[in-house]
Every structure is written in C-alpha cells, then in structure tokens.
A and B are shown apart, each in its own frame.
Chain A
Amino acid sequence: MLAGVAGGLADSFGVPDAYVRAAFVSLAAVWGLGALVYLALWVVTFDRVDDVEVDLVAPRRAAGLAIAFLGLILLFGVIGLWPNPALVLTISALSFGTAALADGSRVGPLTALLDSDVEKPSRARLLIGGLLLVVGLYFLGSTVGRLFEVGAVLLAIAITGLGIAVGFGPWVRRLLSDLGEERKERIRQEERAEVAAHLHDSVLQTLALIQRSEDPTRMALLARHQETELRDWLYGTAPLAGVDMVSTALKQIAAKVEEDHGVRVELVTVGDHVLDESSRALTAAATEALVNAAKHSGASPVSLFFEAEDGWLSIYVTDQGKGFDVTAIPSDRRGIAQSIRSRMEKVGGSAEISSQPGDGAEVVVRVAAS
C-alpha cells in the first residue's frame, strides 16, 4: 500500500493483495530485503502508477533512488557490516510508519504525496517530509562524533534527501518548469514583435501606397519591389551589407533599376564569382547598359543574364524594345557606348553592342575570370 506495487503484483499474478503484502512484510522483517525488492519494483514499474500524473516520473524517480539507496544501507546492516543494528529497526519503523498512514488508495500515500497540489501543500506531506527531515538531521547530529560510521552518515544524508524530496520536490519542480515556460514565452513574443515590426515597415507601407496610387504601372512596380524585398527577407538571400559576389551585386542593381525606371528586370545568373577589380568593372558596365535599356528601349522586361563558365565572366543585357542603328548611334547614346567600352578595355575585357531598329538591342560585356 506504499506505492501500489503489491497491488500491482497481485493483479498480475491473480492472487489477493493481502498475501503479496504479507510476503513483502515477512521478507522485510527477516532480511530487510522485502523493502529493497519492493522499492526496486517501484522504481522499475513507473507505468503501473503513471495514470496518476505523467510528469511525476522525474521526482518520483529521484525519491525512488533515494529510498533504494536507503535500502542498500539497510542491506549493509543486515549482512553485519554495520555496527548499529538498532538503526535497522528504526528504519523499518519509519518505512512502515509511513505505510501505516496509507488511506487505502490504490497508488499509496507516498506517490500521492508527490502528486499533491502544489498551490495547496497537503498537511500530510509537510508532516511526513518534516518528520523525515528531523529524523535524518537527528542521525546526522548524533553521528558527527563517530565519523567512522560512514554508513550511518550516508543513511542520515539519504533520509534528509528523501525528506527534502518529499516535502519540497513538487514545488521546486514546478518552479523550474515555470521559469522555462516564461523564458519560452518571452522569446516567442520577441519573435512576434520582430515580424510585426518588419511587416509594418515594409508590407503594410507598400499596401498603403498601392491603395493611394492611381497609376497602374506604379502599382505594379511597388508590388514587384515589395515582392523582391519580402522574398529576400523570408529566404535570407540578400546580405545587404558587404556585397561580395557578382550575383548578389546584380540582384541589387536589378532591384534598383526596377524601382528607378519602372521596368521589370528579368535576372538570370549561372555560376558566380567574387567581386574583384575586373568583375566590378564588368558589373558597372552592365549597369550602365541596363539603365540605358530601361530609359530608352521602351521594353519591359529587360533581361540581365550573367554567366561564369570556362574561365570567362559574361553579362548580357537584352531588350526587345525599339532598337537603334548601331552605325548611327544617336548622340545621347554615344557617351554611354564609349564609357561601357573603355571600362571593359581597362580590365582587358570586351564590349559588344548589337541592335537593329525595331528589333531590340543587346549589350554583351565579357572579361576573363581571375
């Protein structure tokens, strides 16, 4: 009736529990082994009493181990290693005294004690816990002078520990788990606040702008810009500070041109390369070509294709717009064409501009990969 082990065994074997209990008591009376076996069974057969409360397992295991330890000490006493056999009787008295408090419930008083409501600590629990504490401390005090009796000291410690576990275990456990819960909740709230702040600064602002906008092109552009931004935020593809790869730089350039000039830029990259002197010149030249196409071609989308292959870096800026006669480049475009060429020549690369009136235009810039 201590923890329901006898009842459980009786159920399993189909004999009345009274006999099982009698067997345990007899064993305990003769060798102290009954108690040991009982405690071991209690520790092992958690499931049997788990219908009481699931997260009772941890403190009960602790208490169980403490009691098993106590039983071990008892065993030392029984086999004669312990000079004070009177203590054995004291322990038996204590153990079965506790058992005597049993109210006949299936789970037994000890388990019930650990299970007790934390907010309203039951008197019985405090009483028994306190009692065990006092007994433990008493033994500790009375054995300080006889330090050789290690067993007694250990017993005292064990009983003290058990007392603390029984008396305050559930409370400490609840306290600890409450702290953990609070911390988790705080982290959750911080994350939520961060997401809310981001959505407010970006998506909500954009939605407000779209509602106020009368111009469908502008609306589409805002939506497109927001889409790029949100995508980067969600998938973490845009480390805005410290751009060090060509593909990342191109992504930012494309987004900027979309925003500034109201055209869509279809960016495709194959492979990648670090930003060094020549690839910087390459992207700068491509940016000029892209801005030029966005301003003058009248086409949307403008394609921006980057490829790093076979030791070469190439960027193609292609539009399907109105085009122009390359041999008679209008004066406002000559500067750009020259600037693109000279940029590429400086780093040992090349630039090629091809177009025909009415059939789009393409600028190809190329440089050897370093």
Chain B
Amino acid sequence: MIIDVYLVDDHRLFLSGVKAELATEFRIVGSAHDADTAIGEIRALHPDVVLVDVHMPDGGGIAVVEGVTQTNPGVSFLALSVSDLAEDVIAMIRAGARGYVTKTISPADLVDAVRRVHAGDAVFSPRLAGFVLDAFAGAIPADSDHDFDQLTPREKDVLRLIARGFAYKQVARKLNISVKTVESHVSSVLRKLQLSSRHELARWATKRRIV
C-alpha cells in the first residue's frame, strides 16, 4: 500500500531535500511553505501522513496540526524540526502530532518514522523520550486521581531504554516483551502527554523556556 505524504516547511532547500529522500518510498502528494496554504491543501488532498516544520511564519506547525485534526482526524502528523527546545517538542505533541524528530535524522530513520506514524504508532526519538521523562519526573501528588498524570514504572523503563538509544526491537528484547507491547506502551505515553491535566507539565515547559 502506498502512503500519501504531504510536506510543510518554510525552508525551500530543506523541503526539496526531504522530497527527494522520500519520493522513492512514498507518494508525495504536495507541499507548502506556510500554514494557511498547508491547512487548505491538506483538507482537500487528505494525505496519510503530514511532515510538518515547527517554526514557520503565520502560526507555524501547531496551527497546521490544530487546524487539520478537527476536520480530518485520519491524517497523522510527524513533526520535523531544527528546533530541539523542549517546549516546542511538548507543544507539538500536545497539539496532536504522533511523533517528533529533529532534522538531523538520517533518511532511513525518517522513512521508518513515517511508516510508524502511518501505522498508528508513536515515534519517540531518544531526545523526546528524555523530555517526557523530565516532564513527568517528580513526586505525584497523593490526591491526584488522574491516571493520565503519571507514567507507569514499565512505561518509564521503556522511555529510559529509548533515551539510551535503543531501537524498539532492542527495547523489547531487553525487557522480555514483544515489540507490539513496546509500541502500545509508547502510544499510551503519547496519549498521556496529550491528555494529561498535570499542572507540572505546564510549569515545566514554562521553566524550560526561561532557562
């Protein structure tokens, strides 16, 4: 099955580079340099996966993700950015992106990430795993009745292994579980990140912006 991919990036040079890298594996249905054009075209073309840059004029990647997920819930987003600032990462994930990779990613890893996102899985780079562990670190208030406000010990184990640079397959072997189980842990972490009502998450992001 051919996966339809749409690209959004205001750096034309980078855009054409990524296009060339992905064209052999996927069908590139279109691309845009700004958020407004992107939202309109994605609604019309309904691609499977959208690769979206975080920082752009007129709203950026968050505007694209938020603008499309309401109307086209079937479109999956993979954030691709030169920025590895924690608040950008967390903001994109909370807006609804299924994964976040930096632009230094190798072409093979990028192809793999697109496939993963299309399959409904979450893509956690080592750095993203580190951010999530950091954001959910600290004591959980005893009266917290939100399951989403904390990570299970198993989920933490999985994230730690990803942060240490292991691929899902290696994580599965190390923990004596199946790759499917690893994927479900990662997806559940992503959901928690998107839905968590934890105050610390907001405060954490704010703190990072200042530092």
Interface assignment of B175: CB less than 8 Å from any CB of chain A: no
**Taking the nearest CB of chain B, how far is it from the CB of A35, in angstroms?**
57
CB within 8 Å for A269 and B165 given contacts A235-B85, A307-B160, A309-B137:
no
Neighbour of B166 across the interface among A227, A270, A318, CB < 8 A: A318
Taking CB as reference atom, which chain B residue is nearest A231? B84
Interface assignment of B97: CB less than 8 Å from any CB of chain A: no
Identify whether the interface residues of A are mostly helix, strand, loop, or mixed. strand
Taking CB as reference atom, which chain A residue is nearest B103? A227
Interface assignment of B163: CB less than 8 Å from any CB of chain A: yes
Interface assignment of A279: CB less than 8 Å from any CB of chain B: no
A224–B211 alpha-carbon span in the complex (Å): 23
Which residues in window 142-190 of B have CB below 8 A to A?
160, 163-166
A318–B164 alpha-carbon span in the complex (Å): 6
B164 touches A271 (CB 8 A): no
B126 touches A266 (CB 8 A): yes
- B28 proximity list for chain A (CB < 8 A): none
A316–B166 alpha-carbon span in the complex (Å): 12
Interface assignment of B112: CB less than 8 Å from any CB of chain A: no
A316 touches B164 (CB 8 A): yes
- B133 proximity list for chain A (CB < 8 A): 270, 307
CB within 8 Å for A268 and B137 given contacts A305-B164, A318-B164, A318-B165:
no
Interface assignment of B80: CB less than 8 Å from any CB of chain A: no
- A283 proximity list for chain B (CB < 8 A): none
**Taking the nearest CB of chain A, how far is it from the CB of B204, in angstroms?**
11
A321–B56 alpha-carbon span in the complex (Å): 38
**Taking the nearest CB of chain B, how far is it from the CB of A95, in angstroms?**
58
B137 touches A305 (CB 8 A): no
Contact indicator per residue, chain A 302-326, by CB within 8 Å of chain B (1) or not (0) = 1101010100000010111000000
Which residues in window 266-286 of A have CB below 8 A to B?
266, 268-271
A271 touches B165 (CB 8 A): no
A268 touches B130 (CB 8 A): yes
A270–B36 alpha-carbon span in the complex (Å): 36
- A320 proximity list for chain B (CB < 8 A): 165
A305 touches B165 (CB 8 A): yes
B164 touches A362 (CB 8 A): yes
B165 touches A301 (CB 8 A): yes
Interface size on A, residues (CB 8 A): 20
**Taking the nearest CB of chain B, how far is it from the CB of A324, in angstroms?**
17
Neighbour of B126 across the interface among A235, A237, A305, A319, CB < 8 A: A305
A271 touches B126 (CB 8 A): no
A15–B131 alpha-carbon span in the complex (Å): 74
Which residues in window 96-153 of B have CB below 8 A to A?
104, 126-127, 129-130, 133-134, 137
Neighbour of B134 across the interface among A235, A266, A271, A302, CB < 8 A: A271
**Taking the nearest CB of chain A, how far is it from the CB of B89, in angstroms?**
12
B85 touches A268 (CB 8 A): no
A336–B160 alpha-carbon span in the complex (Å): 26
**Taking the nearest CB of chain A, how far is it from the CB of B173, in angstroms?**
10
- A301 proximity list for chain B (CB < 8 A): 165
- B166 proximity list for chain A (CB < 8 A): 318
Neighbour of A269 across the interface among B85, B104, B130, CB < 8 A: B130
A224–B160 alpha-carbon span in the complex (Å): 25
A285–B165 alpha-carbon span in the complex (Å): 19
Taking CB as reference atom, which chain A residue is nearest B132? A270
A305 touches B163 (CB 8 A): yes
Taking CB as reference atom, which chain B residue is nearest A320? B165
Taking CB as reference atom, which chain A residue is nearest B165? A303
Taking CB as reference atom, which chain B residue is nearest A227? B104
Which residues in window 316-358 of A have CB below 8 A to B?
316, 318-320
Which residues in window 199-237 of A have CB below 8 A to B?
224, 227, 235, 237
**Taking the nearest CB of chain A, how far is it from the CB of B125, in angstroms?**
9
By a beta-carbon cutoff of 8 Å, the part of chain A in contact with chain B is 224, 227, 235, 237, 266, 268-271, 301-303, 305, 307, 309, 316, 318-320, 362
Q: What are 18 sample pairs from A and B whose C-beta atoms fall under 8 A apart? A: A266-B126, A266-B127, A268-B127, A268-B163, A269-B130, A270-B130, A270-B133, A270-B134, A303-B164, A303-B165, A305-B163, A307-B133, A307-B160, A309-B137, A316-B164, A318-B164, A318-B165, A320-B165
Q: A235-B85, A270-B130, A303-B164 are in contact. List 14 more A-B contacts (CB 8 A).
A: A227-B104, A237-B211, A266-B165, A268-B127, A268-B130, A269-B134, A270-B163, A302-B165, A303-B126, A303-B165, A305-B126, A305-B130, A307-B160, A362-B164
